[in-house]
Amino acid sequence: MTERRLDNPITATLAGVRDQFRPSQPIGQLTDADRLDGRTALVTGANSGLGKAIAIRLAARGARVLMACRSGIPEAGEAVRREAARLSPPTSPRVEMRSIDLSDLAHVGRFCDRLAADGERLDIVVLNAAVMPRSDRRSAQGFELMFAVNYLANVALLHRLLSDGVLPNTRFCPDCPAPEVTPRLIVVASEAHRSAAPIDPARLGEYTPYNAVTGMAHYARTKALLIALANHLAAALSEGGEVEVAVHAMCPGAVNSNLAREAPVWVKPLLSPLMALLFRSPFAAAEPAVYLACAPELDKETGLYLHLMSRKEPADQTRDPELGAALWRESLALLRPHMDLPTTP
Ligand SMILES: NC(=O)c1ccc[n+]([C@@H]2O[C@H](COP(=O)([O-])OP(=O)(O)OC[C@H]3O[C@@H](n4cnc5c(N)ncnc54)[C@H](OP(=O)(O)O)[C@@H]3O)[C@@H](O)[C@H]2O)c1
């Protein structure tokens, strides 16, 4: 069932603010002893907002962080390194930047080629990058941009990372050596996914125009697709009971970030102070993603969904295995004319 309260920017914003003040039961809390030394983390959209804060917090816990960004190179990397060093003296954080434009599948392919050629082995992947355009426009391959960046490029990225063994597993990459620690994949979603209309896999990729108001429903749909993807992969990568890659999704709550950068000019004078006053800082909002990436008590877990720090069930349709499998199939069918994807499950 859809929840209509989140299907326009105003109700979604108000709901996001209210959720922060609701009593909740946190899933757990990291301590300073929970470190990521020796692990490599990839964070998309790490030059800004939530992604930058996640990169800082992972680097401060000792991870080598690859910031996958389309802008802010190299200054965002410098800023992340500085801030992580400030949080965890006397260590020298290891932060590197990689260029990726998720609105162009050719770019995504080249990004994956480089990771594979460099022999990267990722322990943590955080799919964070997203857009919320003011109105519909097309990606390089002609898909609607929000669908392309928020969802389809992530399918392409994951399919390549898994089949190249850059994200180690034997389901997609049978000869891949087992990693010492189970890799973790974290999908940054949104509670807005609950207002997504029922998804028809046969219509995936259909171009639908939208504006600043109706766009919220499309944003919600991209997040529902992402959670369905996470749930599908969580099941596929733990068949037989052993978790090969842990796959989790989360909503950070309302974040004072640049996500509403394309909001209409008449909304901005109201929105900016409201966000600064009532929304969480990116640093605070990064907590669930960092927890999912790091918590030792989650070692054998997969398929979690966190809203803020509370465990929840995501919307029914995102948990439907048949829909998840159909979406995976249809997504690969949309991608194949544009990308050379290995034939894997
Ligand atoms: N803000 C909220 O209240 C809120 C609530 C729930 C969930 N979220 C989710 O949190 C995540 C982070 O968003 P945010 O709030 O931190 O917004 P943000 O500050 O706008 O960050 C979005 C990031 O995505 C990147 N990105 C956009 N298009 C890209 C492309 N074509 N290729 C590569 N990277 C691209 C941006 O890079 P550029 O700077 O180069 O554009 C930026 O780094 C998103 O998944 C969002 O849906 C946010």
- Pairwise CA distance, residues 32 & 217, whole Å: 40
Residue of 342, 320, 340, 333 whose CA lies nearest to 152: 333
183 lines ligand 1 (CB under 6 A): no
- Pairwise CA distance, residues 180 & 276, whole Å: 42
- Start-to-end CA distance of the chain, whole Å, equals 30
Encoded tokens for 164: 């190249």
50 lines ligand 1 (CB under 6 A): yes
Q: Would you kindly state where each structural domain of the chain is located, as residue ranges?
A: 8-335
Which residues have a catalytic role annotated?
A: 219
**Long-range CB contacts (within 8 A, 24+) of 274-280:** 274/13, 278/17, 278/20, 278/254, 279/16, 279/17, 279/253, 279/254, 279/255, 280/20, 280/252, 280/253, 280/254, 280/255, 280/256
Written out in words, the top-level CATH class of the domain with range 8-335 is alpha beta
Return the pLDDT at 298.
97
State the amino acid at position 306 in one-letter form.
Answer: L
Render the burial of 171-192: b for 16+ CB within 10 Å, e for the rest. bbbeebeebeebbbbbbbbbbb
Return the pLDDT at 12.
77
Backbone angles phi, psi at 80, to 5 degrees: -65, -45
User: Tens-digit pLDDT profile for the chain (345 aa)?
Assistant: 445 456 677 777 778 878 888 878 899 999 999 999 999 999 999 999 999 999 999 999 999 999 999 999 999 999 999 999 999 988 899 999 999 999 999 999 999 999 999 999 999 999 999 999 999 999 999 999 999 999 999 999 999 999 999 999 999 999 999 999 999 999 999 999 999 999 999 999 999 999 988 999 999 999 999 999 999 999 999 998 899 999 999 999 999 998 878 887 787 788 888 888 889 999 999 999 999 999 999 999 999 999 999 999 999 999 999 999 999 999 999 999 999 888 866
Index of the ligand 1 atom closest to the CA of residue 149: 31
Q: Say if CB 335 and CB 205 are below 8 A apart.
A: no
- 128 Cα to the center of ligand 1, angstroms: 6
What CA–CA distances, in Å, run from 288 to 85, 308, 315? 21, 6, 19
101 lines ligand 1 (CB under 6 A): yes
Find residue 310's DSSP bridge partners: 307
Residue of 243, 304, 313, 315 whose CA lies nearest to 28: 304
Return the pLDDT at 88.
92
- 174 Cα to the center of ligand 1, angstroms: 33
pTM listed for this prediction: 0.96
Encoded tokens for 151: 């969802």
Q: Say if CB 9 and CB 201 are below 8 A apart.
A: no
- Pairwise CA distance, residues 69 & 108, whole Å: 11
Residue 23 three-state SS: coil
- Pairwise CA distance, residues 146 & 152, whole Å: 9
190 lines ligand 1 (CB under 6 A): yes
